[in-house]
Amino acid sequence: MRKLVGILLLFVAVALAPLAAAHGPGTYWVILRDTSIQPEEAELLQNDTILFMATGSDNLTMRTTDIQGRLIQCEMAKNDSCTTFLDHVNWSRGLYMFEFFDADKLRYTFNLTVLPDVHNGTMDNMTSTNQTTAETVGTDLPSDVGRSTPWPAMMAILVPGLAALMMGPKLRGDRWNGF
């Protein structure tokens, strides 16, 4: 019976424990068509990549500024793309606007909200230089951000407990066999 309880506890611990506490950087696609942009906005983490794919018939120019105020510009022809890596040095938490021009005429606007990647240790409170006061992103993080299963505490309790449950009957049986 105790062996069954031990195996059940081990199964529950493995089932409840997360497989990974981190994530790899992701690539987010935005499609620029002749008449629309899909999607029109996104929330991404630092260290993600955003790829703008032009599928329309016109040439487009993408313009935006990073946290340091540098102009980022990219030219796209039909079936061409522009890629922007949201590294934590140049892309702080905040709201950024990507503008797409066709022959110096504004055609699309894409709003990007960059959230901090808690795995890289950058918990900066800086905001984008291209924000207005109405666009300011709050700096308070949700209370559960960065929390994961307390592995050391969980293992310190589970391993000796499972060992005691599994070895208990064997040790008691040896004690009585000696008499």
- Statement: residue 116 has pLDDT above 50: yes
Residues 13-61: tens digit of each pLDDT: 666 665 544 455 688 889 988 888 888 898 888 888 999 998 888 888 8
Q: 81, 32, 38: which is closest to 57 by C-alpha?
A: 32
Q: With cut-offs at 50, 70 and 90, classify the pLDDT of residue 66.
A: confident
Q: CATH number for the 27-135 domain, one of 3.90.1150.10, 3.40.50.300, 3.40.640.10, 2.60.40.420?
A: 2.60.40.420
Cis omega before residue 169 (within 30°)? no
Q: Show me where the domains of the chain are located.
A: 2-18+150-174, 27-135
Q: Burial level of 41, CB count in 10 A (0-12/13-18/19+)?
A: middle
Q: 38, 35, 70: which is closest to 52 by C-alpha?
A: 38
Residues 80-113: tens digit of each pLDDT: 899 989 888 888 888 999 998 888 889 889 999 9
pTM, two decimals, is: 0.53
